[in-house]
Amino acid sequence: MTPFWKRNRRIAASAAGSGIRMDLDHKKVICPKCKKEYTGKQAYDNLYICPDCGKYMPIGARERLVMVLDDGTFEPWFEEVSICDPLKTPGYPEKLAAAQAKSGNTEAVTVGFGKIGGHETVVGVCDPNFMIGSMGQAMGERITRAFERAAERRLPVILFCCSGGARMQEAILSLMQMEKTAAAIKRHSDAGLFYCSVLTDPTMGGVTASFATLGDVILAEPQARIGFAGPRVIEQTIGHKLPAGFQTAQFQLEHGMVDRIVERHNLKNMLHYLLYTHPLKHAPHYLRYTRLDHHLDHDSEELSHHHEKTPWEKVKMVRSGSRATAMDYIERIFQDFRELHGDRCFGDDHALIGGLALLNGQPVTVLANLRGKTMQERVYRNFGMPKPEGYRKAIRLMKQAEKFGRPVITFINTSGAFCGIDAEERGQGTAIAESIMTMAGLKVPTLCILVGEGGSGGALAIAAGNEVWMLEHSTYAILSPEGYSAILWKTEGRAEEAAKIMKLTAQDLAELNIIERIIPEFGGATAETVGRIVPIMHSAILDFLKRYDHMSPEDIVQDRYARFRKF
């Protein structure tokens, strides 16, 4: 059977045997954009995506559960926690009755137990057909109990969020559900358990400001509207019209608020992947799935014996557009790398990427500098120079790796952190310092590989590992040779001389005991040689994990600290 991470097929879940009753034959669905009408079965078969205009239509809780859960696995919980009218608001009982009839559910959220790809999980779905998924007492109570029971049973939680915000008829009691649900999520998180929120259209108000945005991983559907204040409120407050695309899923991705946008036909696959890569954290054991039968250990024998490059020649080599990038190694060493985006507070830095991957089936967290090959890509990647949001994204992903017991592997290739007004305004120095400190204290094995240029603190920010390796012709320095020359000799014209004095080559750093390993390049790390470099790097990474297998978290931290104290 093809492993799930190699599948990319349309989900065709059947309602039969699912344990969820759906009446699709007599249901009519109208696209809210183009007004085309479909039968319930037609809409369901198209995953509620209009085939005419591509509009993502709202999905009821029952249909959503059938789409993502394995057949016959759903077990509803807390159905007895039903609608209430705590403030005796006039007309509210009639609205609740109408919402029940329209949605077929007793409240705006359905929670329970189910399986995805065989993985047990607690699942919840907010129903847009029940008063736009607005949050009242009963909804908050069901979500809170779901997280409490998930913590008791040590289960992950997947929650599909959809809401217009607080339920006005319950006033202040609706507001209190924000702190109640957030507190339950904190307890679940402190137990080392995984929570994924999926933001659907719309996710607004108090739901956005509580459980919707507290996931370890936050996914969003295309076209979803996501925000705290509604657009009309914002326009009234600021006095001018909002730009096109404001508060869309793409807007939130670009501004660092969500990890990924996932199309509906890929959603079950993605959730399966996340449950696989976020197992319960047990005793350290970093080789659960790896096979070491292909171990190679001949780095030193493969190092170049032909004309040795000068330090300045190596500087020019690592800056070349023909040099292999971090992605050239990531795509060949790991299986199914999936990027996670954003620092959750400002933006998504394209110069420093990170995400999840599998190493012979073992979940790992990967971070990498990317500087691009073409000029267009280099501009998009800011020439590989991260801004504060890049380092804060790295910090977020490193902490997540520690929580779920995943090793961290970084690939470094940057001339340094970006120097600019916006970077300083957002705390570039603090972001670098916090990244180094976070990495220093990680309780999981951390390996850092310089595959190109390692420039100053911008490189060090993701290079504070248990071990640091360098490709044979890579460089690592306090700053560029040109900068060194300008500071010491008031001219950039002596950069070649500076490169020699600075001791920036892999061989220099090995002699200074700053790095632990040199990986051969077979003449130069290019498209022609990367196929020879990868097997050695892959085997060496497995060997690294083997050395840390069964080591306690405290010993891993102490091992890293002892390495720093050598300096």
pLDDT at 428 over 80: yes
What contacts 422, CB < 8 A, 6 or more positions away?
Answer: 387
Residues 463 and 448 sit within 8 Å (Cβ to Cβ): yes
The predicted model scores a pTM of 0.91
Distance (Å, rounded) from C-alpha 228 to C-alpha 257? 12
Percent of the chain whose pLDDT exceeds 70: 91
Q: What is the mean pLDDT of residues 412-429?
A: 96
- For 263, phi then psi, to 5°, come to -70, 155
Q: What is the mean pLDDT of residues 321-339?
A: 96
Q: What is the mean pLDDT of residues 181-203?
A: 97
Identify which of 469, 485, 461, 484 has the alpha carbon closest to the alpha carbon of residue 544.
469
Which pLDDT belongs to residue 303?
Answer: 60
Burial of 442 (0-12, 13-18, 19+ CB in 10 A): buried
Lowest mean pLDDT among 30-39, 244-253, 275-284, 461-470: 275-284
Which pLDDT belongs to residue 23?
Answer: 64
Residues 512 and 268 sit within 8 Å (Cβ to Cβ): no
Lowest mean pLDDT among 14-18, 327-331, 405-409, 514-518: 14-18
Q: How confident is the model at residue 281 (pLDDT cuts 50, 70, 90)?
A: low
Q: Give the 3-state DSSP-derived string for 204-257, with helices as H, strands as E and coil as C.
A: CHHHHCCHHHCCCEEEECCCCEECCCCHHHHHHHHCCCCCCCCCEHHHHHHCCC
Spell out the alpha helix ranges (H) of 33-136: 40-45, 61-68, 92-103
What contacts 305, CB < 8 A, 6 or more positions away?
Answer: none
Domain boundaries, the chain: 4-21+58-277, 312-565
Q: How confident is the model at residue 285 (pLDDT cuts 50, 70, 90)?
A: low
Distance (Å, rounded) from C-alpha 52 to C-alpha 291? 49
What contacts 107, CB < 8 A, 6 or more positions away?
Answer: 81, 82, 83, 130, 138, 139, 142
Residues forming a β-bridge with 453:
475
Q: How confident is the model at residue 27 (pLDDT cuts 50, 70, 90)?
A: confident
Burial of 290 (0-12, 13-18, 19+ CB in 10 A): middle
Q: Do domains 4-21+58-277 and 312-565 have the same CATH topology?
A: yes
pLDDT at 114 over 90: yes
Which pLDDT belongs to residue 286?
Answer: 60
Query: Which range is most confident: 1-15, 22-36, 171-185?
Result: 171-185
Top CATH class of 4-21+58-277 equals: alpha beta
Query: In Å, how far are 238, 517, 542 from 530, measured between CA atoms?
Result: 54, 18, 18
Render pLDDT for 117-157 as a digit per residue (tens, 0 to 9): 999 999 999 999 999 999 999 999 999 999 999 999 999 99
Identify which of 324, 297, 298, 295 has the alpha carbon closest to the alpha carbon of residue 473.
324
pLDDT at 297 over 60: no
Could you tell me which residue, 5 or 337, shows the higher pLDDT? 337
CATH of domain 312-565: 3.90.226.10
pLDDT at 301 over 60: no
Share the mean pLDDT of the chain.
Answer: 90
Query: In Å, how far are 385, 484, 518, 525, 547 from 499, measured between CA atoms?
Result: 21, 9, 19, 20, 35
Based on DSSP, count helices (H) and strands (E) in the chain, helices before strands. 22, 17
Distance (Å, rounded) from C-alpha 567 to C-alpha 565? 5
Residue 65 half-sphere exposure toward CB, CA atoms < 13 A: 32
Distance (Å, rounded) from C-alpha 128 to C-alpha 134? 8
Q: What is the mean pLDDT of residues 523-536?
A: 95
Residues 90 and 73 sit within 8 Å (Cβ to Cβ): no
Distance (Å, rounded) from C-alpha 151 to C-alpha 145? 10
pLDDT at 384 over 80: yes
Burial of 463 (0-12, 13-18, 19+ CB in 10 A): buried
Identify which of 474, 445, 442, 472 has the alpha carbon closest to the alpha carbon of residue 459.
474
